[in-house]
């Protein structure tokens, strides 16, 4: 009996150590009041995104929930208004798998919202599910869609500077290896999905790094945020049904709550004094170093150029699409009335949805040379 009690005590002690050192997230204690400011949070109908939006609403911000599902988005907006006591929480439709939807969202937002102070790219997928598209759906939703949305909203962010862009990435970026010769190839099978997910998270970090360089001196700062291991829909969505009852208790014990996962994105959005760290990667509410592949300035610039092509970003499209919010001609590169002729639409539902500072790395860039054809990893 004594041995049993001793073993139980040791297990409990080990769990407490693991919980407080690895699981429990530090709380963000950034700006207390956001009254008069506007934030956009993608994928905010559940999980980390919803908790992020809740904290912003509690601080008085006007919060736009940019979600694919109208039913779930409007339900989330209602919940957040009730829980925060802030009536300025609204839903707008955004499907990151569709470039036409991204452009439509940008036009609708710019025509109805005079401010944009914080843009948080939270939405993401970890699997293609049953959807089969002739392009890399994971890269489209996790990187290309957010890249395009950022470009289309940049002018409003500049007008409201100082402003911030936060991209939720993941520690999975450490397994990423971008092959620019196959960047947009379709993903088939769970092994390719794992690789494509890691690649998309690496793309998030390289995007933030290049964006910080492009926006230096504009008053816009940007950050990549890892939420940590979180017990969210993304974790159990693709687990076989029979396995869920076994994993849910384990997930409850060793994974963070969505509220805990929201702390680092909130820190990047709200913490004062981190502006010199624009372009860096944060985890557990502090800056962290990344592997060489994630701080390769040449690869970051090459990804930027490739993303412009994949997003079909036209000349001047980083400016506002138009103050009158009218769609352009259907044949133009940024048509909002119909998808681009060459852009397939998503036919099935895809899953909804991341050390000490070295300031010398913030703006340092290596000279850009001819790009190699080998993977960046």
- Could you tell me the two tokens for 185? 């190839």
Whether residue 52 contacts residue 78, with contact meaning beta carbons closer than 8 Å, is answered with no
DSSP 300-340: HHHHHHHHHHHTT--TTTTS-S-TT-----TTSTT-SSS--
Q: Are strands 89-93 and 62-67 parallel, antiparallel or unpaired?
A: parallel
Residues 6+ apart with CB under 8 A from 10: none
3-state secondary structure of 36: coil
- How many Cβ atoms from other residues are within 10 Å of residue 8's Cβ? 10
The DSSP code for 261 is: H
User: Does the active-site annotation cover 281?
Assistant: no
Task: Report the relative pairing of strands 281-283 and 62-67 from DSSP bridges.
Answer: unpaired
Six-digit token string for 200? 């998309």
d(CA 214, CA 147): 13
How far apart CA 191 and CA 173 sit, in angstroms, is: 16
- Cα separation, 170 vs 367, in Å, equals 28
Cα 201 from Cα 80, distance rounded (Å): 28
Task: Return d(Cα 232, Cα 194) in angstroms, integer.
Answer: 18
Contact 335, 31 (CB under 8 A): no
Check 20, 197, 223, 267 and give the catalytic one: 197
What are residue 42's DSSP bridge partners?
A: 66
Alpha helices (runs of H) in the chain, residue ranges in sequence order: 2-18, 47-58, 70-84, 99-112, 137-139, 145-159, 190-214, 233-236, 244-254, 258-261, 263-270, 297-310
45 in Cβ contact with 71 (< 8 Å): no
Give the N- to C-terminal CA distance of the chain in Å, as an integer.
53
Contact 91, 74 (CB under 8 A): yes
Point out the residues that are catalytic.
197
């Amino acid at each position: 009996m004594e041995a049993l009690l001793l073993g139980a005590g040791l297990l409990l002690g080990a769990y407490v150590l693991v919980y407080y050192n690895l699981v429990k997230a530090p709380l963000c204690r950034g700006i207390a009041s956001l009254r008069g400011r506007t934030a956009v949070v993608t994928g905010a109908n559940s999980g980390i995104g919803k908790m992020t939006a809740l904290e912003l609403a509690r601080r008085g911000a006007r919060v736009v929930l940019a979600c694919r599902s109208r039913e779930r988005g409007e339900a989330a907006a209602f919940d957040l208004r009730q829980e925060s006591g802030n009536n300025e929480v609204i839903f707008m439709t955004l499907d990151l798998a569709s470039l036409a939807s991204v452009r439509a969202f940008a036009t609708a937002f710019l025509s109805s919202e005079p401010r944009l102070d914080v843009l948080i790219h939270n939405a993401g997928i970890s699997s293609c599910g049953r959807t089969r598209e002739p392009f890399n759906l994971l890269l489209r939703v996790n990187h290309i869609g957010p890249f395009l949305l950022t470009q289309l909203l940049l002018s409003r962010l500049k007008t409201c500077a100082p402003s911030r862009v936060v991209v939720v990435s993941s520690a999975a970026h450490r397994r990423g290896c971008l092959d620019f010769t196959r960047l947009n190839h379709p993903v088939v099978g769970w092994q390719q999905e794992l690789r494509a997910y890691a690649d998309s998270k690496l793309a998030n970090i390289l995007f933030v790094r290049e964006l910080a360089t492009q926006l230096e001196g504009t008053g816009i700062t940007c950050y990549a945020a890892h939420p940590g291991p979180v017990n969210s829909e993304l974790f159990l969505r693709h687990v076989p049904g029979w396995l869920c009852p076994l994993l849910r208790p384990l997930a409850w014990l060793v994974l963070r709550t969505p509220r805990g996962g929201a702390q680092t994105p909130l820190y990047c959005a709200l913490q004062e004094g981190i502006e010199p760290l624009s372009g860096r990667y944060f985890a557990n509410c502090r800056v962290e170093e990344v592997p060489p592949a994630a701080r390769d300035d040449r690869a970051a610039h090459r990804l930027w150029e490739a993303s412009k092509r994949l997003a079909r970003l036209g000349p001047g499209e980083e400016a506002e699409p138009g103050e009158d919010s009218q769609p352009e001609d259907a044949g133009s590169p940024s048509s909002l009335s119909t998808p681009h002729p060459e852009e397939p639409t998503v036919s099935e539902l895809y899953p909804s949805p991341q050390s000490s500072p070295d300031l010398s790395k913030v703006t340092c860039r290596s000279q850009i040379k001819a790009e190699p054809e080998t993977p960046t990893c």
